[in-house]
Structure 1
Amino acid sequence: MSSAARNSKTAYAYLGPAGTFTELALRQVAAAAGQEWKPVLTVADALAAVLAGKAQRAIIPVESSVEGGVGATLDALATTEGLQIYGEYLVPVNFNLVAKPGVKLSDVKTIAAHPVAYAQVRKWLSANVKGHKHLHSTSNAAAASDLWENAKLDAAVSTPNITDHYMVKVLAKNIADNKHAETRFIEVGKKGALPKRTGHDKTSLIVELPNDRPGALLEMLEQFATRGVNLSRIESRPVGDRLGRYRFNVDANGHATDEAVAEAVQGLYRFSPKLIFLGSYP
């Protein structure tokens, strides 16, 4: 492929390496098919790539049905200017136990797993691989890769798509303790035109309260309630400058061009000393 052809492609930064749940989210982005996919190590790296023009969009996790909001993403969105959300993608979170060819389940004594993944499959492993030892891996994909790096490892907890990237066999499928777990990912780019209203939209905001006084949070919520705007998520994160100061990450049902949502946002601009509008998207 010529350099000109590569340069004509749109770049998408995502949390790598290949084989992660973030890659599964990226597969859902219709416009990303056939484009350049750039694996990065952290949320900060993904957003930095967007701001530097090295990637047009970043796909990053924002919320887990098991663990709640992803702090690294929420904090980065609150402290990094010039970003906008253009879409969201839900990925079912399940895990397989994989090993090198020739290994049987009865052979498994030492297992590689990312700590978060291990916590979500512990019950299954305790029941089916009794007395096993757990070694930490840096990601779900790295757990599979570690099988070739560490001779002490017998198996790894990894993602359903890991067999697309590594020569491993599946010893057991769907071993997550919570069979309905999901992670929500967002597509982030530089600020630009809002996606068109679809009728099934979400508007994301970050709101700081004006001061620490009784009723301040209620006053913020009334901006939505009095206009009939439903909130699908509200989550607090510390501002970080001192104890007791929090900002609120809010997802409201509706598009910024909807009259009720637009009025609520304008009310928040009058109320809050710092309001970050992150966009409206399907």
Structure 2
Amino acid sequence: MTQPDPTSLEALRRAIDAVDDEVLELLNHRAALAADVGRLKAQAAPEAPFHAPRRERDVLARLGAANPGPFPGAAVRTVFQEIMSACLSLEKPLRVAFLGPEGSFSHLAARHQFGGSSHALPQGTIEAVFGAVDRGRADYGVVPVENATEGAVDSTLDAFLDSPSRICAEILLPVDQALLLRPDLDLAAVRRVYSHPQALGQCRRWLEVHLSQADRVEAPSTSEAARLAREDAEGAAVASELAAELFGLKVAEARIQDLAANATRFLVLGPRSAEPTGCDRTTLLAMAPDGPGALLRLLEPLARRGLNLSRIQSRPTRRRLWEYAFFLDVEGHAEDPSLAEALDDLRAACASLKVLGSYPRTDA
């Protein structure tokens, strides 16, 4: 390819146009190949899942490692996730349920994982996200499980007690909270601040300093908070800047969270766990019989094999008074020999044990 004159703006722009035309031609060629793959998979195994998450992970990892620059490495995943999402939609769009409405951080996490060509299914509650996956109305669900500032999302943990869905991936999403107002409203006139309890907690100090006169009003999600603020002449919302665009609000202040490096961990729900990658995490739900040393008996099989327990959280089962379930995150895959042996010992030590899923770690 002839190199353009680097001192001529017009020549450079013509060269960029030519490259864009070539990229578009290649994208259409890729889409045609993907359609052929879908056709062959449907002929060979009509009942097999049409989505291959491991294949996507391998492609993204290979391209990220092979990128020589100057195209930004961080953008490689975003671009190719959208390309794969668009190509998959030619076969069948993925139905992805999340805590809505659109514009919530769960929506952002779902788009990060599955791309913009997936079919968004916003749900009013976290329990409804589980229900959509459990009943087959969604291929996947995305739910928040913990925040770096506010800790565990209890409603997500509680929903696992009765759901057959499995965890097949996790997403670590940076979370920047913004204060959103109607275009005609000033900060001093705000009397109510709407948001999800987790978001209000993440911005507690900022709100106390700048909006001490306003009541805090809990909403099912940050995007629903934006909708409520739009309808309230004295209302504001703590939500994403995307929610401001969707609901016609102005960003009065950006990045108001108390912890600058704020992040939320999301779980992806699906019909089955992910295949082992060599760098995985497994989430367990254990019910230990009441009595002295119950928690020690729960942890000992893991410690004896040198398995790292990265998180433990207890929740009441709501079935009997003072009965608790323990959620444990363990590094490794349930099919790894050492963890598989530990699970056998745990089953003997627990009243019940459920493997909620094994999936690739995002912090590796």
| TM-score computed with the length of structure 2 as normaliser | 0.68
Deviation at 1:90, TM superposition (A): 1.4
181, 195, 204: which one aligns with 1:114: 195
Which structure would you say has the larger RCO, counting Cα contacts within 8 Å and 6 or more residues apart?
A: 1
Distance in 1 (CA, whole Å) between partners of 2:285 and 2:256 is 36
| Aligned-CA RMSD value | 2.2
Tell me the equivalent position of 1:162. Answer: 243
Distance in 1 (CA, whole Å) between partners of 2:274 and 2:335 is 11
Q: 1:238·1:244 contact (CA, 8 Å) conserved in 2?
A: yes
159, 164, 184: which one aligns with 1:76: 159
Deviation at 1:27, TM superposition (A): 1.9
Distance in 2 (CA, whole Å) between partners of 1:215 and 1:125 is 43
Q: 2:183·2:249 contact (CA, 8 Å) conserved in 1?
A: yes
Q: 1:78·1:276 contact (CA, 8 Å) conserved in 2?
A: no
Partner-residue secondary structure (3-state), 1:78: coil
Counterpart of 1:142 in structure 2: which amino acid? Answer: E
Please say if 1:98 is aligned against 2:180: yes
Please say if 1:208 is aligned against 2:292: no
Kindly tell me: are residues 76 and 127 of structure 1, through their superposed partners in 2, closer, same or farther at Cα, counting changes over 3 Å?
Answer: closer
* 1:24-65 Cα shifts (integer Å, max 9, x gaps): 211221x34411010001122111111221101110111222
Partner-residue secondary structure (3-state), 2:244: helix
Q: How does 1:79-228 map to 2 (within 5 A)?
A: 79-80=162-163, 82-105=164-187, 107-114=188-195, 116=197, 117-129=199-211, 131-153=213-235, 155-190=236-271, 192=272, 194-209=273-288, 211-228=289-306
Kindly tell me: are residues 85 and 104 of structure 1, through their superposed partners in 2, closer, same or farther at Cα, counting changes over 3 Å?
Answer: same
Larger Rg computed on CA atoms: 2
Tell me the equivalent position of 2:311. Answer: 233
Partner-residue secondary structure (3-state), 1:218: helix
Partner-residue secondary structure (3-state), 2:109: helix
251, 254, 258: which one aligns with 2:329: 251
Partner-residue secondary structure (3-state), 1:147: helix
Distance in 2 (CA, whole Å) between partners of 1:157 and 1:72 is 20
Deviation at 1:212, TM superposition (A): 1.9
Indicate the structure with greater strand content: 1
Kindly tell me: are residues 136 and 157 of structure 1, through their superposed partners in 2, closer, same or farther at Cα, counting changes over 3 Å?
Answer: same
Counterpart of 2:130 in structure 1: which amino acid? Answer: L
Aligned sequence identity (%): 36
Q: 1:14·1:23 contact (CA, 8 Å) conserved in 2?
A: yes
Distance in 1 (CA, whole Å) between partners of 2:111 and 2:331 is 25
Counterpart of 1:78 in structure 2: which amino acid? Answer: L
Q: How does 1:30-45 map to 2 (within 5 A)?
A: 31-45=114-128
Tell me the equivalent position of 2:148. Answer: 65
Deviation at 1:250, TM superposition (A): 0.5
Q: 2:182·2:233 contact (CA, 8 Å) conserved in 1?
A: no
Partner-residue secondary structure (3-state), 1:255: coil
Deviation at 1:281, TM superposition (A): 0.2
Q: 1:12·1:32 contact (CA, 8 Å) conserved in 2?
A: no
Distance in 1 (CA, whole Å) between partners of 2:165 and 2:255 is 36
Indicate the structure with greater helix content: 2
* 1:165-199 Cα shifts (integer Å, max 9, x gaps): 12222111111122233221100112x3x422222
Q: 2:103·2:246 contact (CA, 8 Å) conserved in 1?
A: yes
Deviation at 1:130, TM superposition (A): 5.5
Gaps of 5+ in 2: 1-88
Please say if 1:8 is aligned against 2:89: no
Q: 1:255·1:261 contact (CA, 8 Å) conserved in 2?
A: yes
Distance in 1 (CA, whole Å) between partners of 2:117 and 2:359 is 23
Distance in 1 (CA, whole Å) between partners of 2:244 and 2:107 is 13
Distance in 1 (CA, whole Å) between partners of 2:189 and 2:331 is 47
Kindly tell me: are residues 120 and 108 of structure 1, through their superposed partners in 2, closer, same or farther at Cα, counting changes over 3 Å?
Answer: farther
Distance in 1 (CA, whole Å) between partners of 2:221 and 2:159 is 20
Partner-residue secondary structure (3-state), 1:19: coil
Counterpart of 2:223 in structure 1: which amino acid? Answer: A
Number of residue pairs matched?
271
After the TM superposition, which of the residue ranges 89-98 and 229-238 deviates more from structure 2? 89-98
Please say if 1:281 is aligned against 2:356: no
Gaps of 5+ in 1: none
Counterpart of 2:244 in structure 1: which amino acid? Answer: T
